[in-house]
Amino acid sequence: MTDKLTLYRCADAPVPDVQTLWPLYGAGFENLGRAGGPIQVPVPELGPDELLVRHDAVGICFSDIKVIKAGQSHPRIHKNMASDPVVLGHEVTLTVVKAGEHLRQAYKPGDRFIVQADIFVNGVGYAYGYEIQGGLSQYNRLDSRVLAGDGGNYLIPVRPNTGYAESALTEPWACVTAAYELKYRTGLKSGGTTWIIGTGEDRDYTISAGFDQTAHPARLLLSHVPPRFAGWLKDTASALGIDVAEVPDLSNVPAELVDDIIVLGADADMIEAASPHLAQFGVLAILAEKPLNRLVRVDVGRIHYNRWLYAGTTSPDIARAYLERPVRSTLKPGGKAWFVGAGGPMGQMHVQRAIQVAGHPATLVSTEMNQMRVDELCSGHAGEAAAQGIEWVCLNAMEKENYQHKMAEFRDPGFDDIVVLAPVPGVISEAAAYLAPGGVMNIFAGLNRGVTAELDLSDTYLRGVRVIGHSASTIDDLRSMLNLAESAQLSPNRSVAAVGSLSAARDGLKAVQDGLFPGKVVIYPHIKDFPLTALPDLKEKLPDVWSKLKNGREWTVAAEEEFLREMLP
């Protein structure tokens, strides 16, 4: 006799007339669903160039909470939520249940996919789970926006034997792995706009690379540049056909954003005044020999979202600020790494990756302010870290005396890598002081644009440190992460902390908001009503499922299969 799971995977059963979903009509949990629950709506009709898909599993992300809090004012929402509500859920895996007439040769019932959520059509964003209905629904109709957008087809095939949770969670995992694959320019942006600002220091400034016939900016802005260097810049720019403009008043800078800002000298006021004019992927380079007289307020939100970079050199050669110490986004093999605020779902992923990938750090420090999460970090990773020969330190930052005593051991020479997962400006400022010479701090925590933290930018040129940031992932990142999961190099299943049915989605969202679990909440939209349940609690509720967990705590494909056999209607 064919079991329920096999029939479910075939996806050739008749599709119901109605489906269940969670609409969000505006800001606040009071606008999620109707009367505190999901609603039922007709399953959409299918056009000849469309697919009807079934949502099999969806991870809940803190980004979903941001939409609930912001409602209509969220930057990714461009429709009237009151009349056209958002259905959240971008960490999703799905199965084709029906293909339109023109797509039947390319797609069959049972074909499985994940979705690159950042969907663009003619440059306009239609993100899955934002503008396009997301995974907190049972079915969805996919049109040309998903199948033939600016990036081509945003669906990525999944192997038949890959778990539903592990494939859904490749999306957040791709954001983690992408943070260690960042690439930065090693010179002025060719064809871009460069702004050079003098601060009163006069040295033998020059640009030995990236300012010639092979590569050069298209536009050059000059403010208070020493006369000798300004003359050389204008002569060279004229020969190269570069447009030059004088900007004597920094408060009257042209409206265009600038790709490269070069500050000639140690002037914190000038750096703060110029920084807001940086474009996406902009670089601000400081050329100085003496320390700044104070810390600089830096927009850490834009370092995270806009990928700004602050660099520097003690050389008078602008090219050296880029070439002297190219940015390293990978963790230093054999180095010292510190994960700040590591106890949440994304922090756990970063720590797991750091332990499991080749070329791991020799010392790994994880800190957290919640004792439950500290305990989870210690019990979940200590044994594996020891097996890899990694010095493993796990600290509760709220235990001040012990924390400060232990962290003092790492103050000199400091950490080669610091990954900040706590969206707190003061924490970022404090952590930056622990960077070793040549160290890199990655601001992974998603602070809003405009949020600032005080940093000693003297370190960028005197000690060669770099502060970088990262947000989201590309379709290539998602393909790469899916390959890591399907080849058993990294396990997204390890991130699962609690599971539930679609009726439990509201509780799942609140649990993510309140940080109740150290890992991910995964919703299965097609199982029978099942409350949000932490994996250890399955021992009482579903003992046969619990018995298939790894070490009594880790979600597995076998546990998921048993879960679905028991819970599918």
Residues in a beta bridge with 18 = 42
Residue in 300, 246, 251, 543 with CA at minimum distance from that of residue 431:
300
Residue in 164, 150, 161, 170 with CA at minimum distance from that of residue 480:
170
Amino acid at 333: P
For 336-445, give the CATH class.
Answer: alpha beta
* Residue 15 confidence (pLDDT): 95
Q: What is the mean predicted confidence (pLDDT) over 501-511? A: 98
Q: What is the mean predicted confidence (pLDDT) over 113-120? A: 95
380-391 pLDDT tens trace: 889 999 999 999
Q: What is the mean predicted confidence (pLDDT) over 191-199? A: 96
pLDDT band at 2 (very low <50, low <70, confident <90, very high): low
45-91 pLDDT tens trace: 999 999 999 999 999 999 999 999 999 999 889 999 999 999 999 99
DSSP state of 26: S
Domain span(s) for CATH 3.40.50.720 in the chain: 193-323, 336-445
Phi-psi region of 315 (alpha: psi -120 to 50; beta: other; left: phi over 0): beta
pTM for the structure as a whole: 0.91
* % the chain with pLDDT above 70: 100
CA–CA–CA angle 343, 345, 346 (5° rounding): 95
| pLDDT of 446 above 80 | no
Tokens matching residue 494: 């390890």
Which residue do the tokens 């330190």 mark? 393
Tokens matching residue 247: 């900007």
pLDDT band at 449 (very low <50, low <70, confident <90, very high): confident
CB 260 within 8 A of CB 189: yes
515-525 pLDDT tens trace: 999 899 999 99
For the domain made up of 193-323, give the CATH fold. Rossmann fold (3.40.50)
**Whole-angstrom Cα distance, residue 416 to residue 337?**
6
Mean pLDDT of the chain: 94
Cα separation of the two ends of the chain: 16
Q: What is the mean predicted confidence (pLDDT) over 546-569? A: 95
Q: What is the mean predicted confidence (pLDDT) over 16-32? A: 97
Residue in 32, 36, 43 with CA at minimum distance from that of residue 89:
32
Domain span(s) for CATH 3.90.180.10 in the chain: 4-179+476-567
| pLDDT of 321 above 70 | yes
**Whole-angstrom Cα distance, residue 481 to residue 194?**
36
**Whole-angstrom Cα distance, residue 211 to residue 474?**
31
**Whole-angstrom Cα distance, residue 500 to residue 507?**
9
Across 186-190, 317-321, 470-474, least confident range: 470-474
Helices (H) and strands (E) in the chain, counts: 19, 26
Q: How many CA atoms, within 13 angstroms, populate the side-chain half-sphere of residue 334?
A: 0
For 4-179+476-567, CATH gives 3.90.180.10
* Residue 448 confidence (pLDDT): 84
* Residue 1 confidence (pLDDT): 43
pLDDT band at 256 (very low <50, low <70, confident <90, very high): confident
| pLDDT of 472 above 90 | no
In three-state form (DSSP H/G/I as H, E/B as E, the rest C), the secondary structure along 386-415 is HHCCCEEEEEECCCHHHHHHHHHCCCCCCE
